[in-house]
Structures are given as C-alpha cells and as structure tokens.
Amino acid sequence: MRIGFLGGTGPAGSALGLRLASVGYEVVLGSRDADRAQKVCDELIKKWPDFKLKLSGGDNDKAAKCELVVIATPWDSAATVVNEHTQDLAGKIVVTMANALVRVGKEFQPLVPPRGSIAAHVQAEIPLSRVVAAFQHLPATELGRLGHDVDSDVLICSDDPTATAAVSEIVSKFPGCRPLNAGSLSNALAIEAFTAVLLQLNVRYKTRVAPRLTGIPDRGGAA
C-alpha cells in the first residue's frame, strides 16, 4: 500500500511517515515544496541506513494520489488543503491527525472548531472520502526513534467501519501500539481536545506521555 502525506514534512507527519515506512509501507511525504519534501526523505533515509525505507518526497498532488492519505498539515489549514485535492481523495480513506490547540501562558488549551472537530471539518470538505481520526496522541519523537517500541494505545474513530478496520490494521504493525475503536467521528472532538492534557503533562513532568487504557484485555486490534 502507498500512503501519502499532505503537508508531511513537519515533525509529526515525517515521524509517522518514517514509522510507516519502517514496517513495510511505501510512503510519499508531500509538501507545497517538492524539493523540500525530498530533502526531508533523503535525510531520514541517511539517518536510518539499516532500514529498507520506501520513502520518497513530492508535492501534495503526488501524495494525494496514493491509496490512503494522511493529513499532516497544521490544524488551521487542513480543510483548505483537502479541498484542493477533492477529486483525488474521493472514495479514499483520509486520516486526520491534527489537534486544534493554542498556548495560553504556560498551558495548552483546546479550540473547538465550528463543526466540533478538525476531523468533522475535513469530512465536510470532502464528503466522498472516508475520514478517520487517529494518531493524535503519539509523541513524534518516539515515533521517529526506529528500533524502539511506541508504548501507546491509538484511539481511532470514523463513521466508516471498514476505514476504522483498515487503520487499525496499520496501527497493529507498530511494535508497542494497540488500536482501539473509539466509535464514530463525533468522538473526534474529545480525542483531539485531550491532546492538550497530554502536552501539559509533558511540560509539567518533563517527559513524553502517551495514553494506555486498562481494562481491555484484547491487544489484537480494534473491535
């Protein structure tokens, strides 16, 4: 499977793309600047020579043509970017990993977009696509450390059960990660907003936290 990233050269997008490439996916990091995207890929490949990374850069048009697409742009441009690629994204699984947050003093605070979440806003812009909210809580630094497990549950929500299942299968290939079906896309609001709490814990305890829920014995995948 080829997985494309719109706006994939930032810390979160490039780290997730790197992790996907490390478990066998062909990944295209897209950007408005194709040369910059390729440079980021070249640097990642050089940094991890022991991994056979199928990682390439290109513009967002190239990334949007992949089988599955991840939106890794800043939250306030996610809807605009997908709107530019409506035709290429039609019928595809489109994953949003954005969180609408603002820093107020020493604290991170969530913002509530007009439609309730970034994921819902994206779905409204591309109604023919199957939008999934996932990966909001995975620390970029840990994702980018290949050879180390990422100890975290990954909450996944979508209005399309087959899309949830497909993303769950991808997550299950990450050592240490467990996919959890968090219900419909309406729950994306809570998932996105909770990121503010995790970031505040990072600051307070000088660490990188990730969620791990207890009471769910099955680690085999999202139900």
Question: Given this structure, which CATH class describes domain 2-205?
Answer: alpha beta
On average, the pLDDT of the chain sits at: 95
**Burial class of residue 217, CB neighbours in 10 A (0-12, 13-18, 19+):** exposed
User: Pick the residue with more confidence: 86 or 106?
Assistant: 86
Q: What is the DSSP string of 122-180?
A: HHHH-TTSEEEE--TTS-HHHHTSTTS---EEEEEEES-HHHHHHHHHHHTTSTTEEEE
The pLDDT of residue 114: 84
Tell me, what's the pLDDT at 223?
57
User: 161, 119 in Cβ contact below 8 A?
Assistant: no
Per-residue confidence band for 210, with pLDDT thresholds at 50, 70 and 90:
very high
Distance CA 78, CA 97 (A): 10
**Mean pLDDT across 67-80:** 97
- Write down the pTM of the prediction: 0.95
| 3-class secondary structure, 82 | helix
Positive or negative CA dihedral for 210, 214, 219, 223? negative
Q: At what angle do helices 188-205 and 118-125 cross, to 10 degrees?
A: 140
List, for residues 88-132, the tens digit of each pLDDT value. 999 999 999 999 999 898 888 999 888 899 999 999 999 999 999
